[in-house]
Structure 1
Amino acid sequence: KTFETRDPRTGDVIASIAEGDKEDVDLAVKAAREAFDHGKWPRMPGSERGRIMMKYADLVEQHAEELTLLESLDAGKPRTVTRVVDIGTSATSLRYFAGAADKIHGETLKMSTQFQGHTLREPMGVAGLIIPWNFPAIMFFCKVAPALAAGCTMVVKPAEQTPLSALYFAHFAKQAGVPDGVINVITGFGPTAGAAIASHMDVDMVISQHSSFST
């Protein structure tokens, strides 16, 4: 099945998008679980994950004008603001968390006796990431970038009103060298695809909230 995404300024149809449902979410979660349990991303040195994420940020910047037009058309935003704020912040978020990928350290704790306690930080597993409509590019990377840096795999559902940039970002992830199954984008509606992610037994954490910015 498909649904239409429209230009909110004119109501014109931009494109027809795949309408994911529970079965599609099941397939995406299965791919993410396979990539986490048996793939190389969680087992890759943080420095290597960071290198790939830097390349990912390079691709976002190299295609900034295309992304600006796409985001502006789909979300109804002024192009000048979209270029500087939305796309610029997206690349910055990627670079920030790319730099953090090899700095996820545990701690050594002095105990009350001759023993020592050690903490080890590890990737959580499969993350379900649900993106709001009003800052689709920024919120995509606010959630995807730290999950990538930590070594998690994920299923991402963009808002049905603004699905286009998430699909393009998934394309760039593959070009940058992110392995198959690490980022899975499911387009669809909240009561079906979104609810399926939120209730899926094989998802280790779900991150979903409305975005808000103030000046």
Structure 2
Amino acid sequence: MFTGIVTDVGEIATAEGSQGTLKRLRIHASYDPAGIALGASIACGGPCLTVVAVGPREGGCWFDVDAAAETLERTTVGDWKAGTKINLERSLKIGDELGGHIVTGHVDGIATIVAKEAITAGDDPWGPTARFVLKAPQALAQFIAEKGSVCLDGTSLTVNSVNDDMFSVLIIPHTLSVTTWGERQVGDKLNLEVDLMARYAARLADARRGE
């Protein structure tokens, strides 16, 4: 389980394997390698991936993860290559602060940025703020609610507005500076995980209608 609070921005060092089968990724991060066990779960750009190898490097560590066919089909992982920056989050421990919302790392689909608007000027004392408008897959639109939560590329965000399959989020200066959001542009595709409670509430409603 995760919170959607990004703790590091990693970089893809190598990507091996073929699209649609299995892809092995080596990721450079600033984490202490001594604190990462084989089999640990790390949210990498949204998807929860399992560490299969780990070692030290200057400034932190490297770790390897495998992305299987389901992950490659439903997420942007298949497009990652050397140099791609990704948001990282270690899995929760009992007693950790739940600063975002409950995130599973199970990506539901891919959202696309259709508009980006600067809210504050670059000379603002707190830095720039930006509003992004995104298009969700039609099948997932019902799970996105105004003032509800979504996880985009591993980042916990509050939905500002919803219009059919379009929704907007506001990114504050801090988030722009410590995640990959500062580099996001119109046309970029992001891993989308809808709110866990919304998903189960909709499933329960479907079951009751079936009865």
Smaller-chain TM-score range?
under 0.3
Pair member with larger Rg: 1
| TM-score with structure 2 setting the length | 0.24
Q: Which protein has the bigger helix share?
A: 1
